[in-house]
Structures are given as structure tokens and as C-alpha cells.
Amino acid sequence: MSALQHAFRSTHRAVIAAVAALGLAVAALVTLTMAPAAHADTQICDQYGSTTVQGRYVVQNNRWGTSATQCINVTSTGFQITQADGSSSTSGAPKSYPSIFNGCHYTNCSPGTNLPAQLSAISSAPSSISYTYVNNAIYDAAYDIWLDPTPRKDGVNKTEIMIWFNHISPVQPVGSRVGTANVGGRSWDVWTGNNGSNDVISFVAPSAIGSWSFDVKAFANETISRGMAQNSWYLTSVQAGFEPWQNGAGLAVSSFSSSVNTGGSSTTGGSTTGGSTTGGTTTGGTTTGGSTTGGTTGGTGSPSCRVTFAPQTWAGGYTANVTVANTGSSAVNNWRVGFNLPSGQTITSAWNATVSPSSGSVTASSLSYNAQIPAGGSQSFGFQGTYSGSFAQPTGFTLNGTACS
């Protein structure tokens, strides 16, 4: 808060009146001093200037493709580009990549991050992003996922996954279009190539997406299935921002959240407490620990299973990671996990499974890359939802129609 300045003018009043006026001034000073301090945004114009927000994410200006000025205004939940001078040829690289991230980027690591983390150890990596677009610029709105064979915290990684939430013609991803894919319940045009420094796989939305909650792991799995990464590689960072070629002022990341769940623990770009996330989304909140409904059921040829349900809740909303273990002696193919949502709960998005309907008696069905649960193995999926009243956990979990008691 700015220092308070008080000037006292000489008067011809009586001494007692002067004392009274001084008393009023002191009282006003105390009142103003006790008022809460307002949040001050941070302006960054330095080429590679950065700062932290929420004590867990890094926001970077990252003007690497031009010498012209670029400035960003960093808020408590994201950033906005306020000045974007210069331009680049749309047949070449963009001017910059102002972004917010969880993880490590050229030795700059976000506070308390548990990245790099080996993909094989990650059960899920829920994230959410909300963008604000403008019409007077040429750009793409890109969510970057960086993978490398080593847990490196500096330099260029081996493979870059780009999720293009929006783009303005005539810009296009690196390489060439190789087909389509369904990831996270959405259809994408898929491009692959190499930019001279690293391999790039891009998932391009057919139309603009303003906001979305999804699982980063789903895109990593799709990349593995296409031979551009391996399960033994490491996730080093996830980043959300813009690549502008011309103009760009007004583009903004309105909100961002990122969690990485490894070995039963989860970190929201920050501290981990007892294996569960403190926070969970940009709205913050209180985490409740997960519980396990275990047991094996079923006769010959029926699946035996154990389900672990681990929620993270805040006022009116939650995310949940569900792990289903096959405790039987044979593999389960094309798994379907059924469960009953309590009254007042609605699922808004899901990852690593197709979940329908959004309320009542729900079924989560496997995707192409995780359709089998080997004997003694497990698969995980997750979802985000809302609730009214007090939060309660789902009941009646089944695996391919057989109860997991």
C-alpha cells in the first residue's frame, strides 16, 4: 500500500481544537492502514522477463522471435498481452510465446512443481485453461506439452506436443497434416514434423475452443501410440499461451490450472500434502482425501476388481481420479466402469475415458489406448464435476457389469 502523507496547516484556533483535529487525523490514519491491500498487477516488457502467480505457476514474456517490444500484464490468474509491436512472416516462426506454465523451462521451474515426472508414473494430469481472443491479430492459441527421454530442466526437449485451441489463417502447424484423432472426447486434426530443434505433434481444433478442462496424459498417450514418445520418457512442463505473428494486443489467458498425479500423490504446480492436492483449480479450495472400496467378486470368467476413488473438492465443484485394479487372473478388455452419482452431482468433463450420461447411473468406457487391464494391473480415468449441498462419493462401482464390493 502507498505511504499516507498528511500535511497540517497552521491555524489560529484554540489549542484544544488543534488537539481534536490531530486526534481525528490519527484515527483516519489507523482506519486507512487497516484496510486490505489491493492486488497490484505486474507489467513485464523484458524479453525473457517472468514472475510467479498463486505461488505455483510461472508467467513468462518469452519474446524470442523479434526485437520489437512486447509487454504483458500479469494478473492473479493469468496474463494479457498489452503491447505487441513488430511482425513476422506467416511462412516462418512466430514472434514469441508469452505463456503460463507448471514445470521447468530453461532452468526456470515453477514453485513446488513435481515435474519432470516419468510418464509411466503419472496416473493423470488434469488441467484447465480459459482464453480470451481478439480479431485484429494473426496468432495461434497453443497449449504446449514438453516430453524428453531424460528429466531435463534446461534446453530443448525431444518432443513438443501442441494443442491449438484457436488459430487465425494463414498460419499452420509445423510439418504436414497426417490425419485425425479423438483425444479427450474431442476430434482433432493431427500434424507432425520437426522445427529444426525438436519433433512436433500438433492437435488442431476444427473450431475455436474458449475454455476446456482435460487430461494432459491423454495427449501424451496418443503421442506414444504414434511413435513420437515412449512411456519411459519424462513430462517436463505444460504451458498455455499464444504464438503471435502480427499484432496480438488483447489476447489473454484468463485462468489456468495444472495438476500432476504420480504414484498416488498430486501436485497443482505447488505443494503436495499427504498425497492429495492443496487447491485443485484456480478457484482454490479444500482437498478431501480419497477412499477405497475394495474387494473381489465374480465367478469363473468374471472380472475381479478393486476401485480407488480420490476426489479433490472445493465449494460447489470437484475433480476425481478413479483407479480400477484387475485382481483377477486374466486380462479385462474394453473395460466399462459403472457407478452411481449422488443426487445433485453432474459431470462436466472427463479424461482417459468416455463418460455418460452426466448424472445418475454413469458408465466410464475405455479409449483405444487404454482398453485392456492386464491381470494384476490397473487403469485410471478421471472427471470434473459440480455438486450441491455436501459432497458425497459415488457408490455401486462395477467392472463390465460385475460389482467391485
Active site residues: 160, 243
Summary count for the chain: helices (H), strands (E): 2, 34
Torsion sign, CA atoms 273, 318, 295, 329: negative
Neighbours of 209 (CB within 10 A): 18
> Which residues on neighbouring strands pair with residue 2, listed in sequence order?
none
Torsion, Cα 228 231 234 240, to 10 degrees, reads 60
What the block records as the C-alpha cell of 186 is 474431442
Amino acid (one-letter) located at 140: D
- Of 165, 281, 264, residue with least CA distance to 219: 165
Residue with cell 515453477: 110
Closest CA to 129 of 206, 55, 210, 184: 210
- Is 128 in contact with 256 (CB distance < 8 Å)? yes
Query: In the β-sheet with 265-267, what is the strand arrangement from edge to edge?
Result: 122-124, 260-262, 265-267
Sequence-distant (≥ 6) Cβ neighbours of residue 79 within 8 angstroms: 59, 72, 73, 98, 100, 252, 253
Torsion sign over Cα 265, 266, 272, 273? negative
* Phi-psi group of 50: left, alpha or beta (phi > 0 → left; psi -120 to 50 → alpha; rest → beta): beta
Query: Does the N-terminal peptide bond of residue 116 adopt cis geometry, omega within 30 degrees of 0?
Result: yes
- With DSSP H G I counted as helix, E B as strand and the rest as coil, what are the percentages for the chain, rounded to 5? 10, 45, 45
What's the rounded Cα separation, in Å, for the pair 261 and 249?
35
